[in-house]
A and B are shown apart, each in its own frame.
Chain A
C-alpha cells in the first residue's frame, strides 16, 4: 500500500533530517496530520523564517538573526577575552554554564585534509584581525582533544604567536560526578598530566 503523494512527500522530507529513519519519519508525518491547521502553519512558517533570518554573525561567526549577534553587541561582555570554538553548538554549550562573560569566535570547523578543510576554509584570518583590532588579552581555545582538534590548536597558536596575547586551552579530565575507577586510561592520564596544586 502506497501513501498518497502529499503524505509520501512529507515522509520523504522528514527522512532527510539527521537521525530520522523511515519509521520515525512516518510517525512524525502522521502526527502532523493530527495537528491543528494553525499549528501546522506556524511550524511551516518557523522553518522558512529560520532559514531566511539566521545567518553567521559577521564578527564571531556565531549563528544569529541579527548582525552583529547578541553576544558581540552586548556591552556587558568582556572584550579582552575571546573563546575560540569549532562550532556554533559549542557556543550554546558554553553559554549554558553562565560562567564565561567574554566574546566568542566560531571557526566553523576543524583543519582536516581528509574532509578537504584547510585553514583558509576556517575563520582563522578573521580571528587574527579581531584579536589585533580589539586588543584582546586572552584567547581561550575550547577545542576537542581529537587529532584534528590538536592540529587546529597548533595552527591557531602559530598564527597568534607574534601578538601580545596569552593563549590557553581548556582542561581535560574527569567529568564532574564521575568515578575514578570507571574512567578510561586515556582520560585518567590526561587528567594526571593536567593536575593542579590544591
Chain B
C-alpha cells in the first residue's frame, strides 16, 4: 500500500494542508506540540474510523471552527500504481437546539465516490499499522488495552470478526439490562418462569457469540506466538521462551495478580489454543451459572471476552509484573513487528507503518532493530515522526524524504 497524498482542512492545529508522501521512509521533523502526532492521527483515522486519543470526534475539528475534513489518495498495489483510490471524511458540527453546550457531529465518508454517513465502511480500505508510545501499555497497562488491541487487529484482517463482536456487545447490553430487571424485581428467589426462560435465551446467545469471539482471538494468538518469540530472540539475543496465556475471569480477584496465574480454573489450560468453540461455549454457560448471584448483585455480565485478558509470560513469569523496563519494551516491539507480519500476510504486501516518536522510547539496540526491520521491508511505506534527526543513524536515512512541521504547517525539506 502506498499513501500518495493527504489533505487536511481545519483538522486539529492544521488550517489548510496538502502533503505528498514518497515511497519508503518519510521522516516528519518538528519540535513538540507542532502537529506531528496530529498528522499521524489523521492517517490512522482514515484507516480505522476512530481516533486513539480523542474521546469525542468533535475534538478533531480546529477550535472555533465548525467543520473539518481529511482526504487521502493512495494506491492499493505498491507495484501497480495505476489505480488511485480516494477517501475523504467531512466533519460538521451543528448546535443542538435548546442546549447551548452540546454539538451534533455529522460525518460524511466518501470512498471512491460512494458516500456514507458512518465510518463503518472505512475498515478494509487503507491499511495501517501504527506504533506509538501508548502501545507500551500492551505490556504494562490494564486488560482493556490488550482487548482493544486484539479486537482492532482482528477486525482489520477479518471483516466477519467485527460483525460478530458487535453482535456480542449488543447481546451483552441486553443481557445486562435483563439482569438489572431481575435484580430489581426481587432477585433469584422471585424469578418468574418467563424471566428464567428469557435469561436462558440471552445466556445461550451470549455464550455462543462469546465463544466465537474468543476462538478467533485464540487462533490469532496462536499464529502470533512463534513470531513474537523469534523477534524477541533477535532483539535480546537471548532465547527467552514466551508463553501466551488467555484468561477467563472466573473470580472477582484481579486476574493479573501473580498468585492468580497459577490458578488453573482462571485460565484455559496449556493447550488453550486447541480449545474448541463448543468447549468455550459450555465453559461460558457454566461460568454464567456459577456466578449468577454475583452477576445479579452487580447487574452485569461478568464472564466472557469483554472481561478476558491476555497475559504474556517470559520464562513463565508474567511480563507485566516481573518484566524489566527493557523486557517489556522488547515484548511490545516484538508484538508490533509480529502484527506487521500478520497484516502484510493478509494483504499480500506491507501496510503503511506509522511510527509516532517511538525511537525516543527505545534504546540504541532496539532502535537499530526496528529500523533494520523497516529497511528489510523494501516495499513498505513508513511515516515516522521525531524531534531530533540526530537520533537517526546515517545509514537509516538512505532514500528517505524529510518534512518539517512547525505551528500547523508542513514543508518538504530537500535534504537534511
Contact = CB atoms under 8 A, between A and B. Distances in A.
A185 B200 contact: no
Nearest to A156: B201
B197 A114 contact: no
Nearest to A152: B201
Interface in A173-198: 185-186, 189
Interface in A71-127: 111-114, 118-120
| Interface range on chain B (Cβ under 8 Å from partner) | 20 to 34
A118 B194 CA distance: 8
Interface string B188-210: 00001011011011101100000
Interface stretch (A6-14, A28-36, A143-151): A143-151
A159 B177 CA distance: 22
Contacts of A118: 181, 194-195, 198
B34 to A, nearest CB: 41
B307 interface: no
B-side binding surface: helix, strand, loop or mixed? helix
A20 B385 CA distance: 50
A185 B161 CA distance: 10
Given A113-B178, A113-B181, A151 B197 contact: no
A94 B160 CA distance: 30
B362 interface: no
Given A113-B178, A150-B205, A185-B160, A119 B170 contact: no
A45 interface: no
A-side binding surface: helix, strand, loop or mixed? helix
B163 interface: yes
A159 B198 CA distance: 11
B10 to A, nearest CB: 28
A158 interface: yes
B159 A114 contact: no
B112 interface: no
A1 interface: no
Contact of A158 (B174, B181, B200): B200
Given A113-B181, A113-B202, A185-B163, 6 more contacts: A113-B174, A113-B180, A120-B194, A147-B171, A154-B201, A186-B160
Interface residues of A, number: 18
A183 B181 CA distance: 39
Interface of B: 159-160, 163, 167, 170-171, 173-175, 177-178, 180-181, 192, 194-195, 197-198, 200-202, 204-205
Interface of A: 111-114, 118-120, 147-148, 150-151, 154-155, 158-159, 185-186, 189
Nearest to A157: B201
Closest 5 CB pairs of A and B: A113-B177, A113-B178, A154-B201, A119-B194, A147-B170
A120 B192 CA distance: 10
Given A147-B205, A186-B160, A189-B160, A111 B177 contact: no
Contacts, number: 52
Contact of A151 (B174, B192, B195): B174
B211 to A, nearest CB: 15
A112 B163 contact: no
19 contacts: A111-B198, A113-B174, A113-B180, A113-B181, A114-B173, A114-B174, A114-B177, A118-B181, A119-B194, A119-B198, A147-B167, A151-B174, A151-B198, A151-B201, A155-B197, A158-B197, A159-B197, A185-B160, A186-B160
A114 B181 CA distance: 10
A151 B200 contact: no
Among A112, A119, A151, chain B packs the most CB atoms within 10 A around the CB of A151
Nearest to B174: A113
A183 B174 CA distance: 29
A189 B212 CA distance: 14
Contacts of B201: 111, 151, 154-155, 158
Nearest to B202: A151
A129 to B, nearest CB: 15
Contacts of A114: 173-174, 177
Given A148-B174, A150-B205, A119 B167 contact: no
A153 to B, nearest CB: 9
A118 B175 CA distance: 12
Contact of B174 (A112, A119, A155, A186): A112
A150 B171 CA distance: 10
A42 B170 CA distance: 46
A160 B383 CA distance: 60
Contacts of A186: 160, 163
A173 to B, nearest CB: 16
A154 B201 CA distance: 6
Nearest to B159: A185
A186 B198 CA distance: 26
B175 to A, nearest CB: 8
Contacts of A159: 197
A154 B178 CA distance: 16
Contacts of B170: 147
Contacts of A150: 205
B168 to A, nearest CB: 9
Contacts of A120: 192, 194
B197 A119 contact: yes
A112 B176 CA distance: 11
B160 A154 contact: no
A76 to B, nearest CB: 36
B53 to A, nearest CB: 30
A159 B174 CA distance: 20
Contacts of B181: 113, 118
Contacts of A151: 171, 174, 198, 201-202, 205
